Each structure stands twice: as structure tokens, then as C-alpha cells.
Structure 1
Amino acid sequence: MAKWLKTTDTITFEVRDRIAWITMNRPEKRNALSWKGLQEIRDALLEADDLTSVHCIVLGGNGRDFCAGWDLTGGESSPVKEQQSIAQNPQSEYRSATATLDDDTWQLQRMNELRLVMFEMHKPVIAKIQGNCLANGTDIAMLADLIVVASDARIGYPPVRAQGSPPSHMWLYYMGPQWAKRMLLTGDLLRGKDAARLGLALESVPAAKLDSHVEALAKRIAAVAPDLLACNKRVVNLGLELMGMKTLQRLASEIDARGHLSAGRMQFRQSIEELGLKEAVRKRDAAFGDGMVEYSWD
């Protein structure tokens, strides 16, 4: 039985068996992210970290997808509630994501601050991935401590084909330099089973068994005292910090902002205006076929 359950506009948050289940809950949008969604995920993670009844957290997505990326139709542009568009009010004291390189970098770094709580919090987080885990969805998943995927899940960052670079960059640490480049130079997708073989995920299981498998793993972790879990999470994460992980996240935001000024991204934005988002994305991806990495393990 659940100890308690609460919902917000974008997530559900349930605690049972010493496990906090935080679930992105916009299935009609394929759990596409927004500023509000990121803030509610951050708040739920911090609350779970604060609850003495919780030993482990599972982050998932309701419906067929974990997260299909950023909600480009949501209309949100800033983490600051009072922000007004500079285009509408040139005298506004608040930043606009499209004003300058520095403003864009600031926005992206604020976004990273919301995500990085998963890395910095004391309790371990498992990302449970089914269906699509794309673009900003990977930015969230790859900051979890453990990633478990359905074998037929699709994981990748297609926006690198026309829009920029991941503002939260963990690809190098999971996959090494060559596979990180392979993924980010093409925007191609990995199936869950291949993501696990390459180290991007801990393991893959058939989609029908994903929920039960993750629950069994979470229960094993939850059987350990939280202070000991924190010790062992932190020592590994401190090792990542010694390898420059946090510095790379700051630089990734700046590099993404730089990419936003590229001719390719400007052409893509013009394509959206002329053709609409769906057709612009189809045109962007047309040269890549189904976009799947076909890798032989024989």
C-alpha cells in the first residue's frame, strides 16, 4: 500500500516500501518537459531526499515514453515567474533566452541547476526508461545514479542535427569519447539493449518486465540504511567531480548557447515558422532514415 500519494500539474509523487516513485505525468505530451515540470521534479527529489521514510527514488514517465524532450509548444521561456519577453517589453529587467549569448547561457545554467539536484542529493535515484528518451529527456536520465531501460527503448539527442548541443553533458562519462562523438555528431538513436551494452544504461530488460525489475532493484537498495547509501553514492560522485564533471556541465551550457547562434539553428527556426514544428522536424531528420544505430555485436 502507498504511504501517501500526491500529484501536481506535471508529476505524481508516491512513497511506498521506503521507495519514492516520482513519475512525469504528461502522457498526452509524451512527458515533454517545461520549466514548471523541471521545477516540480526538482522539488519532489528534494522532498524525497528529506523524508526519513525514503531510502531510494525511482524517476519514470507515465505512458509509452519516459520523456520525448522539451515541450516546444508550451509557451514557457524562463524559470523566473515575473519574466516578461524583451520582444514585448524592451525595458524589461528580466532576461530573455534569445536576447544575447550571455542571457541564453544564464537560462541554460539555471536549467542545469534544476537537474543537478539529482546528482547532488544524498539518496540514490534510478531512472526507469521506456519508449522514447530523447533530447532533454536524456539530460535528466543521465544524471540519475542508475539507468535501467526497456530493451526496445529509443535513446538519443536528435536536436544536435540543427539546434545545438546537450546543455547537460554526461555522454562522455558514460560512453567514452568515441561513442559520445558518434551519438552527438549524428543525432542518431540507440535501442535500449545497445545502450546497456555500451554503458549508457546499467542494464536492459524486456519492456513487459521493466516495472517489476526496477522495483526489485529499488527494494534491494532500500534495504540499506540511507546514511550508508549516501556514503557510497557520494564517493563515486566525488570521483566524477575530480574528473571535471561539474565544470563540464557549466561549459556544456555555454557551448549549447553558442550553438544556438549557428546558421543551422537559425535555418531550423525559420523552417518552423514557415512549415510548422512537426514538418520542420521531419525535414531535419529526413536524411537520417529511422535514425537508429545499427551495431553488430558478433
Structure 2
Amino acid sequence: MSYHTLLFQVEAGVATLTLNRPESLNSFNTEMHAEIRDALKQVRQDPAIRCLLLTGAGRGFCAGQDLNDRAVAPGEAMPDLSRSIKQNYNPLVHSLMSLDKPVVCAVNGVAAGAGANIALACDIVLAARSANFIQGFSKIGLIPDSGGTWTLPRLVGRARAMGMAMLSNKLTAEQAAQWGLIWQVVDDDQLMDEAHSLAAHLATQPTKGLALTKRAINAAGGNSLEQQLELECDLQYIAGCSHDYREGVAAFVGKRKPEFKGE
């Protein structure tokens, strides 16, 4: 597919979606949101796609909302920010977190505001050593959105989440990894090779089981122990009925490499 604000390609089971507005650090505008919705719809519906890799073009991953896209002239009424959140950011976060395929994010530079929180909505986040994460909302009188107030305390705890949200300080990639905000830091010149290798590996794994794992872990924060145990029981039943479980057991018994189909 051809887009104006994205690069999108599918190869060997991996869909690579690259935010492509490098002149504005890949900040979101209305057109980008519409194109991302379309691309993610393709990812959801194509069974040949078994992993999504999200990254950015140029020197940044994503600087969040393009403020020029919602600039207010003197005397004009202030914009209804809740409308943009409901129409664009909330569906995007939900789409990434509920996608029944693993989502890898390669943060190649600054991830600020909504850009940071969109990255953190992905399943496995790699960051270039020179990358950094900035909430940024407090500097313009806003609150963290795009799931930030839900994700941050679950990843780093209340104290660090408060500090990140209220101070909007720059967090280096290495700090982010030390705090448990992301999975791994990679040298800049190796980031995309590592990300593609990881995504290619995940695309050969039992997609159904990975999707159910994702569902269980995402539900854990809102469940009691008893609820989570029941959910594990229900999801394990589904996983145990899959072709990939049968193949995994057969490969283990036969001492061979499994050939998962994602079914």
C-alpha cells in the first residue's frame, strides 16, 4: 500500500510500519492517524502477517501530536482535545494492545508525549542507545494521554510515574531499560537489524499462544488472583486446542525444530 505519512511493507510474515514525517519528528496529524488505522486493519485481517514492527523514519521515533495541526488563532475557541483522543489516540492504543499478534517497537530517537506512550503500548520495545523518552505533557499544561497514566505506573511504579509525568524530564534509553520501561537498549547502528531479527523470530512462533499470553498479561493488572487464575485456565484451554500446541509437543518429543503455522 502507498501512504503519504507512513511506509508499510510485509515480508516473511512481518509487517513493518514506519512513521514517515521525519521533517516533524514523525508527529501525529489527522492524515497519519487515518493511515495508521488503515494499515493496522490490514495487519489484523491478513493471517499471513504474524508480527508487527513499528518504528520511525529519520532522527526521531515520534514527537507526539503535531501542534501545528491543531493551532488556535487569537480569538478562536479552544479545541476540544477529548475529540482527538476519542477518535484517534484511544483507538490506536487499544488496537496495538488488543492486536492478536506480537508488536515490536524500535525507538530510533526521541519518543515524546503521545509518541512515548504509543511506543509503550507495544509488546516488546527496543531503543537505540541515543533514544530518549519524554512525557512532555506537563510543559503545556496537559496530562499524559494515549494510555500514559495507565501504562507508566504499571511499568515503573507510582513514584517514577509521577516524576516522569510532572517533571517531563528526558529519560535516556539506558535509564528506561534499567527502570523496566523497555525491553532492551541496542547500539544505534544495530537497532533495525536487531528489531527485524526479533520480529522475524516472533513471526515463526505460535502466534495464537503469543496472542493469548498478551491477553492474559494485559488483563492481570485489573484482576484479582482468583480472576487471573480462571482466565489462565480458560486461555490455556484455547491454546491447548491449537495446531501449534500439537506441533510443539510433537517436535519436542521428536527432538526436532517445530514448524509453527500460527494456528
Which runs of 5 or more structure 1 residues have no equivalent in the other structure? Answer: 1-5, 78-84, 89-95, 244-298
Deviation at 1:217, TM superposition (A): 1.1
Question: Which of the numbers 15, 31, 36 marks the counterpart of 1:36?
Answer: 31
Q: Please give the alpha-carbon distance, in whole angstroms, between the structure 2 residues aligned to 1:240 and 1:44.
A: 29
Deviation at 1:195, TM superposition (A): 0.5
Q: What SS does the corresponding residue of 1:242 show, helix, strand or coil?
A: coil
Aligned to 1:120: 98
Identity of aligned residues (%): 27
Q: Give matches, 1:1-298, under 5 Å.
A: 6-75=1-70, 98=79, 103-110=80-87, 111-167=89-145, 168-169=147-148, 170-242=151-223
- Spell out, residue by residue over 1:68-117, the C-alpha distance to the aligned partner (whole angstroms, 9 max, x if none): 1211113589xxxxxxx9x88xxxxxxx863xxxx543442333123321
Q: Quickly say closer, same or farther: Cα 1:216–1:36, change in 2 above 3 A.
A: same
Partners of 1:149 and 1:205 within 8 A in 2: yes
Taking only aligned residues, the RMSD between alpha carbons, in angstroms, comes to 2.2
Deviates more, 1:217-226 or 1:20-29: 217-226
Q: What SS does the corresponding residue of 2:195 show, helix, strand or coil?
A: helix
TM-score (norm 2): 0.77
Aligned to 1:259: none
- Spell out, residue by residue over 1:246-265, the C-alpha distance to the aligned partner (whole angstroms, 9 max, x if none): xxxxxxxxxxxxxxxxxxxx
- Spell out, residue by residue over 1:137-166, the C-alpha distance to the aligned partner (whole angstroms, 9 max, x if none): 012111111111011101111231232111
Q: What SS does the corresponding residue of 1:160 show, helix, strand or coil?
A: helix
Q: Please give the alpha-carbon distance, in whole angstroms, between the structure 1 residues aligned to 2:45 and 2:140.
A: 40
Q: Please give the alpha-carbon distance, in whole angstroms, between the structure 2 residues aligned to 1:143 and 1:238.
A: 14
Amino acid at match of 1:32: S
Amino acid at match of 2:23: E
Amino acid at match of 2:31: K
Partners of 1:66 and 1:132 within 8 A in 2: yes
Q: What SS does the corresponding residue of 1:155 show, helix, strand or coil?
A: strand
- Spell out, residue by residue over 1:203-249, the C-alpha distance to the aligned partner (whole angstroms, 9 max, x if none): 10111110111111112211113222212221112224438xxxxxx
Partners of 1:157 and 1:187 within 8 A in 2: yes
Deviates more, 1:220-229 or 1:208-217: 220-229
Amino acid at match of 1:237: N
Runs ≥4 residues deviating over 4 A: none
Partners of 1:35 and 1:76 within 8 A in 2: no
Q: Quickly say closer, same or farther: Cα 1:181–1:22, change in 2 above 3 A.
A: same
Q: Quickly say closer, same or farther: Cα 1:76–1:235, change in 2 above 3 A.
A: farther
Deviation at 1:52, TM superposition (A): 1.1
Aligned residues between the structures: 219
Amino acid at match of 2:21: R
Amino acid at match of 1:172: P
Deviation at 1:43, TM superposition (A): 2.3
TM-score (norm 1): 0.68
Q: What SS does the corresponding residue of 1:73 show, helix, strand or coil?
A: helix
Amino acid at match of 1:223: T
Q: Quickly say closer, same or farther: Cα 1:149–1:42, change in 2 above 3 A.
A: same
Aligned to 1:261: none
